[in-house]
């Protein structure tokens, strides 16, 4: 049985009400009263929960055996700064980057992004996308049994994101931008380095413009490649995350 997300705070001394989303999931999976299900709070806590009441619109459970469990989280943080891709590609990127271990996802509006969601007139659409991606993140954690929900940042322009390069979020992290051409491979770049926080900057379908690459380099990013073949935007980040784990988790 997969684990279920129950937002904190948890109460262990009395019946805990079921939020509407979890109530729906339990009904769809035909969980019966009296059954015990695994739950997590998205902040590293897990527990056992016994379903004591399941109605049409409300329900309750009791929580026991609460403990901290972050074994599925790597000791270093991986931020995937992903250029916005069209269609349902961003949904796939969010889902698979969570499954492979990203701790933060930053959707970036780039010059060559197919969709444009950074203008004030697009604020409502952008917010709906953000809510949708965060729901995908939750579902992916339930499926792959991660106990800490990765953060999906609001959509921002690449320039705005790079302007934070000196902030605490980016300070001290290994910053890599993936480019085509004759650049050192990701594997050769990270192999001699100790495991550390890393930011992966991936372009949209058309790649980065020369101006964007120059801006990233000025912000402290170094150009690397994923090999001789040009990967699709929805593939590149997942391949990069997997490569990092393969080398640093040995």
Q: What is the pLDDT of residues 71-94, one digit of tens each?
A: 999 999 999 999 999 889 999 999
* pLDDT score, position 130: 95
Q: Are residues 42 and 93 both part of a single domain? A: no
pLDDT tens-digit readout, 174-185? 999 999 888 999
* Per-residue pLDDT at 118 exceeds 90: no
Which residue, of 12, 34, 68, is where some domain finishes?
A: 68
* Separation of alpha carbons 140 and 149, rounded Å: 9
Is pLDDT at 136 greater than 90 in this prediction? yes
Q: Are residues 29 and 122 in the same domain?
A: no
Select from 68, 87, 115 the last residue of a domain.
68
Q: What is the span of the domain harbouring residue 112?
A: 78-248
Hunting for tokens 């300070």 — which residue is that? Answer: 171
Say if CB 157 and CB 108 are below 8 A apart: yes
87 belongs to a structural domain: yes
* Domain end call among 68, 98, 115: 68
Question: Can you read off the two tokens belonging to residue 10?
Answer: 């948890």
Residue 73 lies in a domain: no
In this model, does residue 194 exceed pLDDT 80?
yes
Query: Does 183 share its domain with 60?
Result: no
The answer for residues whose C-beta is within 8 angstroms of residue 37's C-beta and 6 or more apart is 1, 3, 4, 26, 31, 48, 49, 51, 61
- Domain CATH for 42: 2.40.240.20
Q: Is the pLDDT confidence value at 165 over 80? A: no
* Percentage of residues in the chain having pLDDT higher than 90: 74
Q: Do 58 and 108 have their domain in common? A: no
For residue 196, give every residue at least 6 positions away whose Cβ sits within 8 Å of its Cβ, in sequence order, or none.
76, 172, 173, 174
Alpha helices per DSSP H over 53-104: 89-100
Query: What is the value of pTM for the model shown?
Result: 0.91
Q: How many domains does the chain have?
A: 2
The sign of the CA dihedral 54, 57, 62, 65 is positive
């Amino acid at each position: 049985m997969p684990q279920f997300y129950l937002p904190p705070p948890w109460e262990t001394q009395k019946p805990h009400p079921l939020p509407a989303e979890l109530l729906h999931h339990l009904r769809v999976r035909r969980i019966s009263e009296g059954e015990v299900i695994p739950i997590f709070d998205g902040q590293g806590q897990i527990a056992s929960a016994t379903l004591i009441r399941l109605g049409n619109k409300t329900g309750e459970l009791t929580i026991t055996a609460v403990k901290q469990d972050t074994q599925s989280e790597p000791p270093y943080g991986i931020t995937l700064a992903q250029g916005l891709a069209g269609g349902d590609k961003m949904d796939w990127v969010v889902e698979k980057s969570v499954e492979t271990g990203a701790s933060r996802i930053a959707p970036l509006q780039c010059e060559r992004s197919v969709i444009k969601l950074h203008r004030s007139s697009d604020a409502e659409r952008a917010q709906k996308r953000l809510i949708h991606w965060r729901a995908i993140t939750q579902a992916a954690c339930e499926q792959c049994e991660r106990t800490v929900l990765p953060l999906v940042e609001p959509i921002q322009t690449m320039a705005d994101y790079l302007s934070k390069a000196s902030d605490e979020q980016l300070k001290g992290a290994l910053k890599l931008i993936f480019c085509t051409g004759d650049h050192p491979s990701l594997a050769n770049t990270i192999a001699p380095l100790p495991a550390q926080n890393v930011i992966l900057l991936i372009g949209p379908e058309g790649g980065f413009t020369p101006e964007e690459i120059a801006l990233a380099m000025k912000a402290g990013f170094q150009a690397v490649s994923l090999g001789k073949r040009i990967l699709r935007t929805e593939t590149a980040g997942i391949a990069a995350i997997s490569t990092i784990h393969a080398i640093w988790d040995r």
